[in-house]
């Protein structure tokens, strides 16, 4: 928040409440009613702000700060034009404000006093519906609540007001925090007493009436929209969150009918139904956001597999990547559909072409339902429905269950389509009150009015010729202007010939303008017919819009099917064009032939495919020089896994994979400077999460764990981590490290493997092959990488000299950190297997004796 003083009633006005002019006292009232929002107050063609709010808006929007002066005092004032308000409002949102737009809701001509004003909408970052603010992506607002007992149980509700997408989920606080990250809401309301910690800096946490979270009240709200809360939701925490979120969404629609009629569908899910990707994983795998490490902006996974043709499809594909599936049947159903479209080029391409004509129906229909849609919106809806029969035709021979099911669900809504088609002209204007919307033949009364208008105009068109003949004045002209309407113009030399029934209207320098009683009558007829036609058109249009609004659920169902079809089409297009293969599911390990990194292969023309062959529970220790490709490889495996479970084919020659419950990553350095934590602290926090939460069903990527501290500590931690993951956690793990000593640890453990990236050290230059091999890496090429990076020769030579001197110390096959000081491996193992927490003092003494005996031998 830039400056909280800009909110609420200005002190200066409050002090003089009794004396203020009626207009300013209206402003003061509105500021009091909307104390959390910056009030934009319409005065004619401007939205004005006053006092502190004016100072803040003038600064943020770079507009002039002026003053309003009256008998009660001088008030700073700053205003923005109503016509270009949206871009200014956007800047205010970016600065962290909510904006309450107070419009004049009465014509100034209707009153002798001050015009009525009311807040007609509250614009907040998470509840945007105006096209001007939106791109294709979802914009979410969330609500977080706890249960009756205020324990660790949390409920989360997430809503996109512009599309009507509504999700609810719940669970213990940590799991729900992960779900929040998946949706990355722009805004959130939270129950009284809860901390906002689960939200990061990208979410504006907004205060809201605590009573909206009251279980009874919230339950009532949920019932109002979706039926019995106990049936549709999982816990009181979820009910509180959903109810409060609905109340908040209604609150921001001030002025419009309270209820959001297009919210018909609630998706309630359990986080355990989807592959869990926490914030760290989403970030480090760059699913949606670029990290631009080292200034090099790379594409995201989403960019790479997004070949959707519509906004609906793009949002659906985002959701599939954000919440990959766990259910093998569901995954296979998507794979079947993708497979069919991969092999059927004709269908795939015709789907892609047709889907390009699909508009953002979810948003269209929500605008229709809110009474905000114009005639163009309805035409766009019709164009979209026009596509549906073509899509059904393209899918007529579909085999896979999913495609057949989608075909079934593609209801062309023939009645709606025909109705819009017959009512509206092909290219209606945006304005709704100035006519030109409704087509001929739709309404008899309208056609009559238009006929009157046409006849009147035809009569006038003929008038010039008729009057020239009657008067004999060849230069006589008939014209029209805004102020005086139709007139007959006669130049001064001909004034003598003017007949008696001409009435003078206007005198110009060289001519006079006249009207005749008949011309006035005709004109009156035309104007009346025009006005009545405009009003009638508006009425017919709103009736049509209401009729379409009554079909909201049907149209939403079509939108849902279109979205899924487009997402499948996208996956199939990518698979076909980039040579992806269908993965086999249900394997007891990760077996990939010729795997590729889906994003890097797009920018590296000579990308080297690499295999993966890891039984479940294997810990692979991956060594190799800097720049050899370790990080790329590890991410490649994880991305392939995410793609599989999202329903996609994968960049590989062949793949046979299990379904994993969660992908964990501890990759690269991510300083949390804003959070005040050092790189090492962040690294350890992430590591702690993984070691606590990973299961045998998880896939874990650990990249250079322990790098952020001293070598000894780092190595000790890395080693302890490998052992713990191997012995206790049991997750399949890829562990990249520069500590060659770790390769010895891997040699000792049953399910650990050494893999490495070799580099050909030809002479003193390094040639990266990017090829993964069995066993530990032979040497570190760090010094050569330093040379190719431009480190001066003397430093490089000296480093070589030092390396030579240290010799064997750096060889990788040496056992790990002589930490056991020569103690027999069996003793070491015995210690490792000991669970101290479950060892009695007596047992401990026995153990000590046993170990002592072993070392004495
Ligand atoms: N299989 C591959 N084929 C072609 N180029 C690759 C391959 N793998 C990685 N690269 C390229 O090599 C460079 C280094 O890759 P990467 O960052 O994965 O190496 P690294 O071993 O993790 O390095 P460091 O240890 O310094 O983190 C990247 O620019 C990447 O694009």
Q: How far apart are CA 669 and CA 283, in angstroms?
A: 12
DSSP string, 223-255: HHHHS-HHHH-SSHHHHHHHHHHHHHHHHHTTT
Asked whether residue 170 is marked as a ligand-binding residue, the answer is: no
Assess contact for 62 and 38: CB atoms under 8 A: no
- What are the tokens at 855? 């070392």
DSSP string, 159-217: EETTTTEEEEEEEEHHHHHHHHHHH--SEEEE-TT--STTS-TTSEEE---GGGG-HHH
**What are the sequence ranges of the domains in the chain?**
3-123, 133-273, 306-411+551-577, 444-545, 584-780, 823-856
153 CA distance to ligand 1 middle (Å): 43
Q: How far apart are CA 357 and CA 325, in angstroms?
A: 29
Q: Can you list the positions of beta strands (E) in 381-454?
A: none
627 CA distance to ligand 1 middle (Å): 5
Assess contact for 391 and 565: CB atoms under 8 A: yes
Asked whether residue 35 is marked as a ligand-binding residue, the answer is: no
User: Is 618's pLDDT higher than 60?
Assistant: yes
Q: How far apart are CA 176 and CA 146, in angstroms?
A: 11
User: Is 675's pLDDT higher than 60?
Assistant: no
Q: How many CB atoms lie within 10 A of CB 258?
A: 12
- 306-411+551-577 has which CATH code? 1.10.1420.10
Asked whether residue 678 is marked as a ligand-binding residue, the answer is: no
Give the pLDDT of residue 145: 95
CATH topology of domain 444-545: MutS, DNA mismatch repair protein; Chain A, domain 3 (1.10.1420)
Residue in 196, 186, 117 with CA at minimum distance from that of residue 154: 196
Q: How many CB atoms lie within 10 A of CB 89?
A: 24
Asked whether residue 297 is marked as a ligand-binding residue, the answer is: no
Half-sphere exposure of 389 (CA within 13 A, CB side): 6
814 CA distance to ligand 1 middle (Å): 26
* pLDDT-derived band at 106, boundaries 50, 70, 90: confident
Sheet of 767-774: strands edge to edge? 663-666, 699-703, 732-736, 619-623, 752-760, 767-774
Atom 10 in ligand 1: residue holding the nearest Cα = 629
Q: How far apart are CA 275 and CA 261, in angstroms?
A: 32
Atom 29 in ligand 1: residue holding the nearest Cα = 627
Residue indicated by tokens 């996109």: 160
Tens digits of residue pLDDT in 747-778: 899 899 998 887 765 545 566 778 888 887 76
Is 133-273 a CATH 3.30.420.110 domain? yes
Same fold, 306-411+551-577 and 444-545: yes
User: Is 415's pLDDT higher than 80?
Assistant: yes
* pLDDT-derived band at 293, boundaries 50, 70, 90: very low
Tens digits of residue pLDDT in 633-667: 999 999 999 999 999 999 999 999 999 999 998 87
3-state DSSP assignment of residue 357: coil
The number of the ligand 1 atom at minimal distance from the alpha carbon of 738 is: 25
Strand partners, 703: 736
636 CA distance to ligand 1 middle (Å): 11
Atom 8 in ligand 1: residue holding the nearest Cα = 629
Residue in 664, 646, 655 with CA at minimum distance from that of residue 612: 655
Q: What DSSP designation does 116 have? A: P
Sheet of 589-595: strands edge to edge? 584-585, 654-657, 589-595, 610-615
* pLDDT-derived band at 781, boundaries 50, 70, 90: low
Q: How far apart are CA 656 and CA 663, in angstroms?
A: 17
Give the pLDDT of residue 672: 45
Which of 609, 623, 627 gets mutated to test ligand 1 (max ligand atoms within 8 A of its CB)? 627
More confident residue, 819 or 669: 669
Lowest mean pLDDT among 308-317, 328-337, 715-724: 715-724
Q: Which residues contact 706 (CB under 8 A, 6 or more apart)?
A: 683, 713, 714, 715, 716, 717, 718, 721, 739
Give the pLDDT of residue 713: 78
Q: Which CATH number fits domain 3-123: 3.30.70.20, 3.40.1170.10, 3.30.360.10, 1.10.760.10?
A: 3.40.1170.10
Q: What DSSP designation does 99 have? A: E
597 CA distance to ligand 1 middle (Å): 11
More confident residue, 333 or 795: 333
Tens digits of residue pLDDT in 50-82: 999 999 999 999 999 999 888 888 899 999 999
Asked whether residue 627 is marked as a ligand-binding residue, the answer is: yes
Atom 24 in ligand 1: residue holding the nearest Cα = 626
Asked whether residue 428 is marked as a ligand-binding residue, the answer is: no
CATH topology of domain 584-780: Rossmann fold (3.40.50)
Residue ranges around ligand 1 (CB below 6 Å):
600, 604, 606-608, 610, 624, 626-632, 770
Angle between helices 328-343 and 552-578 (to 10 degrees): 70
Atom 1 in ligand 1: residue holding the nearest Cα = 608
Tens digits of residue pLDDT in 437-446: 999 999 999 9
Give the pLDDT of residue 673: 44
Lowest mean pLDDT among 206-210, 378-382, 605-609: 206-210
Asked whether residue 229 is marked as a ligand-binding residue, the answer is: no
- What are the tokens at 391? 């899509």
User: Is 256's pLDDT higher than 80?
Assistant: no
Q: C-alpha 14: how far from its chain's center?
A: 41
* Section 94-107 average pLDDT: 88
Q: How far apart are CA 182 and CA 280, in angstroms?
A: 10
């Amino acid at each position: 928040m830039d400056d909280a003083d800009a909110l609420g009633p200005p002190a200066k006005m409050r002090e003089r409440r009794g004396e203020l002019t009626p207009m300013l006292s209206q402003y003061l009232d509105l500021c009091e009613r909307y104390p959390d929002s910056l009030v934009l107050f319409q005065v004619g063609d401007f939205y004005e702000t006053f006092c502190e709010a004016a100072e803040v808006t003038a600064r943020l929007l770079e507009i002039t700060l002026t003053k309003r002066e009256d008998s009660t005092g001088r008030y700073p004032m700053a205003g923005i034009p109503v016509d270009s308000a949206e871009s200014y409002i956007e800047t205010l949102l970016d600065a962290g404000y909510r904006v309450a737009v107070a419009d004049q809701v009465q014509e100034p001509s209707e009153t002798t006093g001050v015009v009525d004003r009311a807040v007609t909408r509250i614009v907040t970052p998470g509840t945007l519906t105006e096209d001007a603010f939106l791109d294709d992506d979802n914009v979410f607002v969330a609500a977080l609540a706890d249960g009756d007992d205020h324990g660790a149980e949390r409920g989360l509700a997430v809503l996109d007001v512009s599309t009507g997408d509504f999700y609810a989920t719940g669970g213990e606080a940590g799991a729900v925090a992960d779900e929040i990250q998946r949706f990355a809401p722009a805004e959130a309301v939270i129950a009284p007493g809860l901390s906002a910690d689960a939200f990061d800096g990208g979410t504006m946490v907004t205060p809201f009436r605590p009573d909206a979270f009251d279980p009874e009240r919230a339950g009532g709200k949920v019932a109002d929209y979706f039926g019995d809360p106990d049936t549709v939701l999982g816990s009181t925490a979820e009910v509180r969150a959903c109810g409060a979120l609905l109340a908040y969404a209604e609150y921001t629609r001030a002025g419009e009918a309270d209820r959001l009629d297009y919210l018909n569908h609630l998706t309630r899910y359990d986080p355990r139904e989807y592959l869990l990707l926490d914030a760290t994983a989403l970030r480090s795998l760059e699913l949606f956001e670029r990290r631009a490490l080292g200034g090099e902006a790379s594409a995201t996974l989403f960019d790479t597999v997004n070949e959707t043709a519509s906004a609906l499809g793009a949002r659906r594909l985002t959701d599939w990547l954000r919440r990959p599936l766990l259910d093998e049947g569901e995954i296979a159903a998507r794979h079947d559909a993708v497979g069919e479209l991969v092999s059927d080029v004709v269908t795939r391409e015709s789907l892609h072409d047709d889907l390009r004509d699909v508009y953002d129906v979810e948003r269209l229909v929500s605008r229709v339902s809110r009474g905000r849609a114009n005639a163009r919106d309805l035409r766009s809806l019709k164009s979209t429905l026009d596509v549906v029969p073509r899509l059904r035709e393209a899918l007529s021979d579909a085999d896979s269950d999913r495609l057949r099911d989608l075909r079934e669900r593609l209801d062309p809504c023939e009645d709606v389509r025909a109705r819009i088609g017959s009512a509206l002209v092909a290219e209606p204007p945006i304005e709704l009150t100035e006519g030109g919307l409704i087509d001929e033949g739709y309404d008899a009364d309208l056609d009559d009015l238009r006929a009157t208008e046409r006849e009147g105009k035809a009569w006038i068109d003929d008038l010039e010729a008729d009057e020239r003949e009657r008067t004999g004045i060849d230069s006589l002209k008939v014209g029209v202007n805004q102020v005086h309407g139709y007139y007959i113009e006669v130049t001064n030399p001909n004034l003598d010939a003017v007949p008696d029934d001409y009435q003078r209207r206007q005198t110009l320098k060289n001519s006079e303008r006249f009207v005749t009683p008949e011309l006035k009558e005709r004109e009156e007829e035309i104007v009346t017919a025009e006005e009545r036609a405009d009003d009638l058109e508006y009425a017919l249009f709103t009736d049509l819009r209401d009729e379409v609004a009554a079909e909201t659920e049907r149209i939403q169902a079509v939108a849902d099917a279109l979205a899924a079809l487009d997402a499948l089409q996208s996956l199939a297009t990518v698979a076909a064009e980039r040579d992806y293969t269908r993965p086999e599911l249900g394997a007891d390990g990760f077996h990939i032939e010729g795997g590729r990194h889906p994003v890097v292969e797009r920018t590296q023309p000579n990308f080297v495919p690499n295999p993966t062959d890891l039984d479940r529970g294997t810990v692979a220790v991956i060594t190799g020089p800097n720049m050899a490709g370790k990080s790329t490889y590890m991410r490649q495996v994880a991305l392939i896994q995410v793609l599989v479970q999202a329903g996609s084919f994968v960049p590989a020659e062949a793949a046979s994979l299990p379904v994993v419950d969660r992908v964990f990553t501890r990759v690269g350095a991510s300083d949390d400077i804003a959070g005040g934590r050092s790189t090492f602290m962040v690294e350890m926090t992430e590591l702690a999460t993984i070691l606590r939460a990973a299961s045998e069903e998880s896939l874990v990527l650990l990249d250079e764990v322990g790098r952020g501290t001293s070598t000894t500590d780092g190595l000790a931690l890395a080693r302890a981590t490998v052992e713990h993951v191997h012995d206790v956690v049991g997750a399949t793990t890829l562990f990249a490290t520069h500590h060659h000593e770790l390769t010895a640890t891997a040699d000792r453990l049953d399910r650990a493997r050494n893999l490495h990236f070799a580099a050909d050290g030809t002479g003193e230059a390094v040639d990266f092959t990017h090829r993964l091999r069995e066993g530990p890496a032979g040497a570190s090429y760090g010094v050569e990488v330093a040379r190719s990076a431009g480190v001066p020769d003397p430093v490089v030579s000296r480093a070589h000299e030092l390396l030579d001197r240290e010799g064997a110390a750096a060889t990788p096959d040496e056992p790990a950190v002589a930490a056991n000081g020569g103690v027999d491996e069996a003793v070491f193992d015995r210690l490792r297997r000991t669970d101290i927490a479950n060892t009695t003092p007596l047992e401990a003494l026995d153990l000590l004796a046993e170990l002592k005996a072993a070392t004495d031998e």
